[in-house]
Amino acid sequence: MTELAAPHGRRRPIPTKAASAEPVAAALPTRILVVEDDFLISLEMESTLTAAGFEVVVVGSGEEALDSAAADRPDLVVMDIRLSGAMDGIQTALELFRIYGLRSVFATAHSDSDVRARAAPAEPLG
């Protein structure tokens, strides 16, 4: 099992006493969208990321990922390249990047040069 460092999350500026008397908001957890059609792998990813302090949404297809991105507004996507359904992971990542500016980390065993070239326009993080 992979161990992940706890996220820094999105933080709001901390006002000084002179600037504001409002209470300081706690850091919000980073929301990660996991797109994985293998149930056991998605379960492990969700468990590991949740234990590390992330807020996790898991979907099993490219179409579900697009719907979830609109509803859940994730900060990052962990994407399987080979998905069942009409869209593979690269097509899905390209759409998520085009529509929402979302960056993806590809989690796959298939990383040949053709796959990397197809994925490059989505500006993947890994």
Cβ atoms of 29 and 73 within 8 Å: the answer is no
Reported as a single tens digit per residue, the pLDDT across 7-51 is 444 444 444 445 455 555 556 669 999 999 999 999 999 999 999
34-122: CATH architecture: 3-Layer(aba) Sandwich (3.40)
State which amino acid sits at residue 33.
L
pLDDT above 70 as % of the chain: 75
Work out the pLDDT band at 53, boundaries 50, 70, 90: very high
Specify the pTM. 0.73
Instruction: Reply yes or no on whether the pLDDT at 126 is more than 80.
Output: no
Cβ atoms of 87 and 62 within 8 Å: the answer is yes
